[in-house]
Amino acid sequence: MTFLMTAEDFRDRWQELRDQIVSAGGSLDRVRVVAVTKTFPTEAALLALGVGLLDLGENYGQELESKAPRVAALLAEGEPSPRWHFIGGLQRNKVKRIASLVALWQTVDRVEVAGEIASRAPGAAVLIQVNTTDEQQKSGCQPKAVAGLVDAARTLGLDVRGLMTIGPTDGLDPRPAFAALRALADRHGLVECSMGMSSDIAAAVAEGSTMVRVGTHRERSAHDDARA
Ligand SMILES: *Cc1c(COP(=O)(O)O)cnc(C)c1O
């Protein structure tokens, strides 16, 4: 796949995103933007780093394994390194290979995965992924399992920073799911709530997101086609 976004497009998209966060009542001090670079080449990561977005998200172990060293090799001396967030489904056997690369594991949803992370990356920072929409095919633990998983992860020595969820994929109003995640995090004294993607950022920020995960590309809209 070719990567067609120019640095100027990227800066426009970044400005648009910041406007969206602020109009939803957020601020860039409180809402961290994770630039999701999955399926994009290293150029996308460099564009993000170029505007100061140091938090980069990847979904696939192999892609992270090959991309992280290539990005590191392209950084100029003294340039800050990215913090890689793992946001894809986790299997035990994947953890070992990427353990040294990941700054925040966002998708811990089972004790076995927490255990594997704890043994490969002792003390690592994690989020517990919660299925807040009760969709069968989705990963994430059930809301009622959060307390047990937070305790188990802490007992394993992991640094549990907060919770993560994916909004409804069926086009329903995402706000109840996001409000539920925020309430769960507050109940457990957890600060971070990673929620909100391109399609539902405003709702997530309005409900107290501290971290949005946004793909580096934007769907072409009718508006763009009219301008083209
Ligand atoms: C791909 C992905 C994103 C980014 O989605 P966009 O719609 O491109 O903003 C966010 N979170 C997760 C878990 C993803 O897999």
Residues 27-72 pLDDT 10s: 999 999 999 999 998 999 999 999 999 999 999 999 999 999 999 9
- Ligand 1 centre and the CA of 166: distance in Å? 9
- Ligand 1 centre and the CA of 155: distance in Å? 30
In the predicted model, is pLDDT for residue 221 greater than 60?
Answer: no
At 92, the pLDDT band (50, 70, 90 cuts) reads: confident
- For the residues 96-124, what does the mean pLDDT come to? 98
Q: For the chain, give every domain's residue range.
A: 7-225
Atom of ligand 1 nearest to the CA of 166: 13
Task: Name the more confident of 21 and 222.
Answer: 21
In the predicted model, is pLDDT for residue 225 greater than 50?
Answer: no
Residues 168-201 pLDDT 10s: 998 899 999 999 999 999 999 999 999 999 999 9
Which residues, judged by CB distance below 6 Å to any ligand atom, belong to the binding site of ligand 1? 36, 38, 59, 87, 166, 197-199, 213-215
pLDDT given for residue 75 in this prediction: 92
- Supply the pTM of this predicted model: 0.93
pLDDT given for residue 222 in this prediction: 40
Mutate to test the pocket of ligand 1, among 10, 39, 58, 87 (most ligand atoms within 8 A of CB): 87
pLDDT given for residue 217 in this prediction: 60
Check whether domain 7-225 has CATH 3.20.20.70, yes or no:
no
- For the residues 122-149, what does the mean pLDDT come to? 96
pLDDT given for residue 224 in this prediction: 42
- Ligand 1 centre and the CA of 214: distance in Å? 6
- Ligand 1 centre and the CA of 36: distance in Å? 6
Residue 200 bridge partners (DSSP): none
Residue nearest to atom 13 of ligand 1 (CA): 87
Percent of the chain with pLDDT over 70: 93
